[in-house]
Structure 1
Amino acid sequence: MTMKQLHELFLEHPVICTDTRKITKNCLFFALKGPNFNGNAFAKDALEKGAAYAVIDEEEYNASGQYILCQNVLDTLQELALYHRKQSKARIIGLTGSNGKTTTKELINAVLSKTYRTIATQGNLNNHIGVPLTLLSITKDTEIAIVEMGANHKKEIAFLSNIAQPDFGYITNFGKAHLEGFGSVEGVIEGKSELYDHLMTHDKYIFMNADDPIQAEKLGSYVKKMGFSTEDHQYYNIQYMGANPYVVLEAEGTRMETQLIGKYNFPNCCAAIVMGKYFNVPLEDIKAALEAYAPQNNRSQIMEKNGHHIILDAYNANPTSMRAALENFNLMEASNKVLIIGDMFELGQTATEEHQAIADLAAGLDFNSVYLVGENFFGTTTTLNTYRSFDNLKQHLAKNPLPKGTLLIKGSRGMALERVLELL
């Protein structure tokens, strides 16, 4: 079957499923493989549950006309996404960075959807499987698609950019994330910059944080760009008015009061504003979108439980985002500040050094109680409370309940520190 024929079949059955637990009637099932599973073995089950066709890559499973045999299912999914993207008239915004990608994506989508029919990456489906699935969710009515791209090693963003073929792009920042794969902060900069490299090579449009010296240097002579700045008036000027705890900003004399905590969310808001301006979204609609957006899914969520005022930021963590969160929490006006932070993953050889630095920072800030959780924090030299595992923390809190106050919970996804809520 040619890619053109497969694409015609996809247009007849425009829902892609890769998990037999989520099969919808008349979908196309792609039998992807993983370290511990072979999707080919589930193809029959997918068809029995209502899938129209199953795309497989092992001859022994090719039992009827409902099976589409290819050389490699993942490659075929990616090639189909690229083919579909080339047929689409939607404008694609590519988005990457070390921190704030998902929040920025949601803010951009909130702003642009005020004027356009948009789609955006669901959750953080931002890898070599998620990006193709996002592209394949573009319909004939879609005008703008915001495609988030994640990476933990070099060449990954370049690969995803070749599939997405973005017309526009933005990098949130360059931080200490996935150092195990990138090797160093310089490796992070090189890897994330592959999005800008792709855009410049293809003479596409770039959005930038002009106050970021790395972006300013890299894009200094590039013409097709629009940036934001708090000071440089050759770019779109946005003023930071404070965050106690929510970010307040001002653009063109219009005050915007968001539901996002921390100064680190200010540039995320700015990116959404500057894209809204580029795409001619009225400023009052931009303001309405930013003020209505409330974070979800353990990303700087603010909640109350049993007398505790909680900032739940347990979706992910790296040294850059952890430092920003602690410094912001330190500046907040709140009573009885309690800090519970968990290990930061994928730091490679820098793990010991980076966890010690965060432990030292936490010890030097003004918190009433601090709890460090995980093998790496347990190994630090500190006077703070350390717990080798979540279960150890749980045992301690069962005997010594947390006092009522304001609680910041942050750690890498693998630490699953949202479980602390069950202990309150």
Structure 2
Amino acid sequence: MNALDVNCEKSFSHIVSKLPSYAKISIDTRTLSSGDVFVALDGKNFKGHKFAQEALYKGACAVVQSFESTFTNALAFCVQDPLAFLHYIARHRRYSIKGLCYAVTGSVGKTTTKEGIAHVLKHFGQTYFSASSYNNHIGVPLSIANCPPGARYTVFEVGTNHPGEIASLVALVKPDVSVLTPISEAHIGNFHDISSIVLEKFEIFTGQIGVLPYEYSFDAALKNKISWLTYGLKKGDVHIINISDHGEVQVRTPQGKVTYRPSSLASHWIEGNLGILAALIPENIDLQQGAEHLSSFVPLRGRGAVICYDLLKIRCIDESYNAAPLAMRACILDFAIRKVPGRKILCLGEMGELGVHGPRLHQELIAYIEQVKGAHIFLVGELFQKTFEILSKMGYSVYWATEVFALLDTVKSVLLPLDTLLVKGSNATRMYQICSFLEKWNISLIV
């Protein structure tokens, strides 16, 4: 059939009525499955309508796009704004989600916290959570639209890189429990100052219960219609009592003492675990059981996973996915105190979207880098040039390039067996290429 011309949101309900109930929504033909609805989004860097025919060939049950088409024997709709349709169907399907709904935001650890909450909740009921870092104006509605109606728990990640974004996204999620991770200068280039970032993040608190780091509890008092739960390494409703020499952690909670063995003893990882445990309290989940399940939750690739290249006898801490200033500082300090069998190698990519604060925030890392005694240092990105010059004058073994590819051969020439690398940077710096390079090098030794 020919495309139906629909140019206003009021008619979106007509389109939804024509679609199979709860058909999955796809915006990417590479991952589309037979029976999905293909919503062809068009933007500066992508033209979804060019893949509509491919979507139908792969078995899409319908196509929603902004261009007229002459598809035959296909359910095709032409709308003025496919993204607006995606938001509409997300709102429509949100009403069918009856289980407990979580929303997670913050500057650091959003994805890990979202994944960790879901990791524990799946042991207590059907759990659905947003994939990867689907936390923006496309990822959030897509995640909601694909949520199965029978899920007992849903966990959505909400991000922001400009004022007002969280308010619009949380209006789609409508969370029962809102979880805040630590706040940093991430995206400060798009905000006035750190206080405006805090205000933006606090827009997440629209539900009945808020979970947040203890340090923000005084700000939370301003939103007195919400029940609050706090967490922190030293203070909060959920906080550390003791960490044994054997890696066993004792936690004080409203349910009493909980003991478990986390998969990492990095301070930022443990703090994230505390936030996850606090998020379980509204559902009255036994926190000892929750903590035991949390023991099997390990850092994700790009977010703290420890990769062992056995033939090279080298280890890599892969933090390459993102790098807010707070997370960068925490990772460097944890690396400084980490016990390793050989030398320490720092591979840092520049932090993005910091605006006029960028040069200062990169130079301030010098005080943290100094804590990593005897390290070889690799810096990537223009914002690290001044840091490189200062460290060079201080006598450090430091290397710098504007792009990561320019340093790969130098990294290879410096590495020795038993070395441990910390690889961290904004995703745009492609620091993950160091991990990929090491993996290929390791595999080449098999032959």
Whether these two folds match at TM > 0.5 is yes
Alignment equivalent of 2:133, drawn from 124, 127, 142:
124
Match of 1:406 in 2: 420
1:170 Cα shift?
A: 1.2
Once residues 403 and 378 of structure 1 are traced to their aligned partners in structure 2, the CA distance between those partners, rounded to angstroms, is: 29
Once residues 283 and 245 of structure 1 are traced to their aligned partners in structure 2, the CA distance between those partners, rounded to angstroms, is: 21
Alignment of structure 1 residues 354-365 onto 2, 5 Å:
354-365=361-372
**Count of paired positions:** 416
Match of 1:48 in 2: 57
Alignment equivalent of 1:316, drawn from 322, 326, 331:
322
Query: Which range is displaced more, 36-45 or 54-63?
Result: 54-63
Q: Is the 8 A contact 2:318 2:422 kept in 1?
A: yes
Once residues 260 and 250 of structure 1 are traced to their aligned partners in structure 2, the CA distance between those partners, rounded to angstroms, is: 15
Mark the runs of 5 or more structure 1 residues left unpaired by the alignment. Answer: none
- 1:22 alignment partner, SS class: coil
Instruction: With the length of structure 2 as denominator, give the TM-score of the two structures.
Output: 0.86
1:280–1:331: structure 2 CA closer, same or farther, 3 Å change rule? Answer: same
Map Cα deviations across residues 104-150 of structure 1 (whole Å, 9 max, x no partner): 11111122222121101111111111111111122221112111001
Q: Report the residue type matching 1:349 in the other structure.
A: V
Instruction: With the length of structure 1 as denominator, give the TM-score of the two structures.
Output: 0.90
- 1:78 alignment partner, SS class: helix
Once residues 385 and 242 of structure 2 are traced to their aligned partners in structure 1, the CA distance between those partners, rounded to angstroms, is: 38
1:217–1:183: structure 2 CA closer, same or farther, 3 Å change rule? Answer: closer
Match of 1:300 in 2: 304
1:186 Cα shift?
A: 1.8
Q: Report the residue type matching 1:329 in the other structure.
A: F
Once residues 333 and 88 of structure 2 are traced to their aligned partners in structure 1, the CA distance between those partners, rounded to angstroms, is: 44
Once residues 57 and 43 of structure 1 are traced to their aligned partners in structure 2, the CA distance between those partners, rounded to angstroms, is: 11
Once residues 259 and 25 of structure 1 are traced to their aligned partners in structure 2, the CA distance between those partners, rounded to angstroms, is: 38
Query: Which range is displaced more, 398-407 or 15-24?
Result: 398-407
- 2:295 alignment partner, SS class: helix
Mark the runs of 5 or more structure 2 residues left unpaired by the alignment. Answer: 1-5, 442-447
Q: Report the residue type matching 1:419 in the other structure.
A: Q
Alignment equivalent of 1:386, drawn from 399, 404, 408:
399
Match of 1:268 in 2: 272
Once residues 90 and 41 of structure 1 are traced to their aligned partners in structure 2, the CA distance between those partners, rounded to angstroms, is: 37
Give the aligned CA root-mean-square deviation in angstroms.
2.5
Match of 2:217 in 1: 215
Match of 2:180 in 1: 171
Q: Report the residue type matching 2:251 in the other structure.
A: E
1:412–1:230: structure 2 CA closer, same or farther, 3 Å change rule? Answer: closer
Match of 1:350 in 2: 357
Once residues 247 and 341 of structure 1 are traced to their aligned partners in structure 2, the CA distance between those partners, rounded to angstroms, is: 31
1:17–1:132: structure 2 CA closer, same or farther, 3 Å change rule? Answer: same
Q: Is the 8 A contact 2:217 2:230 kept in 1?
A: no
Once residues 250 and 324 of structure 1 are traced to their aligned partners in structure 2, the CA distance between those partners, rounded to angstroms, is: 21
- 2:175 alignment partner, SS class: coil
Percent of aligned positions that are identical = 25
Q: Is the 8 A contact 1:243 1:263 kept in 2?
A: no
Q: Report the residue type matching 1:278 in the other structure.
A: P
Alignment of structure 1 residues 240-251 onto 2, 5 Å:
241-242=242-243, 248-251=249-252
Once residues 245 and 104 of structure 1 are traced to their aligned partners in structure 2, the CA distance between those partners, rounded to angstroms, is: 25
